[in-house]
């Protein structure tokens, strides 16, 4: 294993001896021999790129750019998902701490002195280790929309959502997407999953809404056989109208929060998009102008049956290839109703068990109770 290597590009080479070769191009060609198997962990944007460069991808894509097909695997690079966001900005009464205080050198120096002298001030107890938000909540669809509107949104999931996929998508990937949308609709109907994450940021000056289960699906595709060329990343944000509709309703929910007595006591006045932005079309236009990636990319090497566009099986093995597994966020067929970091940790932990042949029942865990620690020791 080579950690933190300055590797610019990678190809996987397969020999008739069934040994796998892992080659890198970083100024000069270097080749490493894998005596057992290869674990690919390049993330949801680059794991599919490496597979595609290695001839493991949808055959039409490889044929178009002159890469020999090793395994025709239609799901590689498909099913790209990301958490989208919208937001509302507000002004507050003077004197309420703001994140901008953290980059004010004079303020910072004064607060540090106060912290060290009296353990008081804006830096005590957690200002130096502040999180991105003062509060957050994961909210089911029925909790921030009216019931009839929520029902209509769920119906739009169950309707012909496949019409919003790109034109050249393989039928196996379409079949997998139909399974996904049915599951998402069921979870929202039961209220068993969050549709939106709400972040209360910068003392309340920003209220951010993050779409948990987008229906839009993007792609990651190599554009040439040049391993140094970046892949073409098309997230296809808002290609399914459901995504925009949920974020519009989320912004309307923000306005209800800003109008509550505790928030009004802070002097909250909406500044962006501004109360004059009222129609669904205008709100959606604003959201499209401010949204960006949450860097929560998943799905491009999905763990699904091959017939549903899957790339890896339940043991993380790439279909049709001996000795090759993928272990990263790309294997998630759906985004979780959460940030992806902890889930990636869990994938890695589970992968270690799978690769070593351990069962969950056979594992022993060391349980530590912090309350039993002798802090004076």
Distance between CA atoms of residues 254 and 356, nearest Å: 48
Q: How far is CA 297 from the centre of its chain?
A: 4
Alpha helices in the chain (DSSP H): 43-53, 59-65, 105-118, 147-158, 171-190, 241-258, 261-264, 280-290, 341-356
Return the bridge partners of 233, or none. 220
Enumerate the active-site residues.
296, 339
Contacts for 161-170 with beta carbons within 8 Å, 24 or more apart? 161/215, 161/240, 161/242, 164/215, 164/216, 164/239, 164/240, 164/241, 165/217, 165/239, 166/217, 166/219, 166/236, 166/239, 168/60, 169/78, 170/58, 170/74, 170/75, 170/78, 170/309
How, if at all, do strands 38-40 and 56-57 pair?
unpaired
What is the CB neighbour count within 10 angstroms for residue 73?
A: 29
What is the rounded distance in angstroms from the CA atom of residue 47 to the CA atom of residue 77?
9
Only one residue has tokens 């950690």, namely 3
DSSP character string of 229-286: SPPEEE--TT-SHHHHHHHHHHHHHHHHHHTSHHHHTTT-EEEES-TT--SHHHHHHH
Other residues' Cβ atoms within 10 Å of the Cβ of residue 303? 18
- Strand, coil or helix: what is 297? coil
Both tokens of 249, joined, read: 């309703």
The secondary element (H helix, E strand) that includes residue 317 is none
Radius of gyration, alpha carbons of the chain: 24
Q: How far apart are CA 185 and CA 334, in angstroms?
A: 13
Contacts of the segment 29-33: beta carbons below 8 A, 24+ positions apart: 32/2
């Amino acid at each position: 294993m080579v950690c933190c290597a300055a590797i610019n590009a990678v190809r996987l080479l397969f020999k008739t001896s069934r040994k796998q070769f892992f080659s890198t191009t970083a100024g000069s060609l270097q080749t490493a021999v894998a005596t057992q198997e290869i674990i690919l962990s390049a993330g949801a944007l680059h794991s599919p790129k490496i597979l595609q460069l290695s001839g493991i991808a949808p055959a039409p894509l490889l044929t178009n750019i002159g890469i020999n097909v090793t395994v025709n695997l239609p799901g590689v690079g498909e099913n790209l998902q990301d958490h989208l966001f919208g937001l509302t900005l507000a002004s507050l009464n003077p004197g309420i701490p703001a994140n901008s205080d953290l980059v004010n050198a004079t303020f910072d120096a004064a607060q540090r002195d106060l912290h060290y002298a009296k353990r008081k001030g804006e830096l005590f107890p957690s200002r130096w280790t502040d999180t991105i938000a003062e509060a957050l909540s994961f909210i089911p669809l029925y909790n921030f929309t009216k019931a009839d509107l929520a029902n209509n949104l769920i119906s739009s999931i169950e309707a012909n959502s496949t019409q919003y996929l790109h034109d050249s998508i393989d039928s196996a990937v379409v079949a997998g997407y139909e399974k996904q949308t049915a599951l998402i609709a069921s979870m929202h109907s039961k209220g068993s999953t969050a549709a939106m994450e709400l972040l209360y940021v910068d003392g309340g000056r920003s209220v951010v809404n993050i779409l948990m289960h987008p229906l839009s699906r993007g792609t990651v595709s190599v554009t040439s056989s040049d391993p140094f060329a970046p892949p073409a990343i098309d997230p296809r944000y808002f290609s399914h109208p459901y995504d925009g509709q949920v974020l519009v309703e989320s912004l309307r929910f923000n306005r209800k929060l800003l109008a509550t007595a505790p928030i009004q006591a802070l002097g909250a006045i909406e500044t962006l998009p501004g109360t004059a932005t009222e129609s669904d079309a205008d709100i959606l236009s604003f959201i499209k102008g401010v949204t960006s990636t949450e860097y929560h990319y998943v799905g491009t090497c999905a763990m699904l049956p091959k017939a549903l566009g899957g790339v890896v099986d339940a043991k993380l093995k790439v279909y049709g290839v001996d000795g090759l597994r993928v272990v990263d966020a790309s294997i998630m067929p759906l985004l979780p109703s959460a940030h992806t970091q902890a889930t990636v940790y869990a994938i890695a932990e589970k992968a270690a068990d799978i690769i070593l042949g351990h069962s969950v029942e056979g594992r022993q865990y060391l349980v530590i109770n912090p309350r039993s620690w002798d802090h004076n020791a």
